[in-house]
Chains A and B, each alone.
Chain A
Amino acid sequence: MPIINRKLNSLYKKKLKEVGAMAEKKENIRVEDQVRALIAQIESIRAEIATLDAAINALRQTVATLRTLKRLGAGKNVLIPVGSIAQVEMKIENLDNVVVSVGQNISAELSYDEAIKYIEDEIERILALRLVLEQTIADLYTQIDQLIRGVQGGEEQKEENK
């Protein structure tokens, strides 16, 4: 988790303790529960983002590997993994065609350029989804902020009225 997010999370957890300390009224306890629920949602979305990041890295690695293989040229020997501990030497005939998994257990042969484009489009699609999740996190932090300010505002009003 990036440092800024850990700091924000610990800031909100500190605020939550303050809200808890002020939680004499049932309403404040309800707010505390809402804030906890929102923090849990944020952490769940962060886990999703980590999964997407792993997928993006894997796809970028795939593109890099294909480009390197293309550059090395046809006729080159490569080691193909067989299981987790063995490798077998094979010769690349050509890299004009690439078989790409397109989902639902189906793979299709594409030209090298089509395959690169397909993978890059997939990376863009995942990045767009990642952006939506980050925005959702930002919106959730705004909700937490509003809840906490609402409680603090209520307490300040109570003090003024004394």
Chain B
Amino acid sequence: MQPNPREESLILQLQLIKAQLEQLEKVKEFLKNLSPGRKIYINLGEVMVESNYLEAMQYLEEKEKELKALLLQLESQISQAGLGLNLNQK
């Protein structure tokens, strides 16, 4: 059975969030391997603020929490829609 447009939209949002979480892990790994003393910046839109490893990791971990919360919410909505999809599918 084909999902309707609303369900397709939920699935797409789920995939996007999973992709963002994957990218977030890669960025954390990148920072862990960055040579000491290298400057780090956080992009706040119009302005880039100089930061440091700890602040940047904290920023990323907060983002990760928000994304995981959103992921749980979407998974719950998809389950309620009764799609019965394999949510581990990429």
Contacts and interface: CB of A to CB of B under 8 A. Distances in A.
B39 A105 contact: no
Q: Is the interface of A mostly helix, strand, loop or mixed?
A: strand
Interface of B is mostly: helix
Q: What interface size band does chain A fall in?
A: 10 to 19
Contacts of A109: 38-41
Nearest to B44: A105
A103 B43 CA distance: 10
A36 B59 CA distance: 46
Nearest to B37: A109
Contact of A107 (B20, B23, B43, B59): B43
B10 interface: no
B71 interface: no
B26 interface: yes
A106 B26 contact: no
Contacts of B17: none
Interface in A10-36: none
B30 A108 contact: yes
B74 interface: no
Contacts of A97: 39
B40 A104 contact: no
Interface of A: 97, 99, 101-110
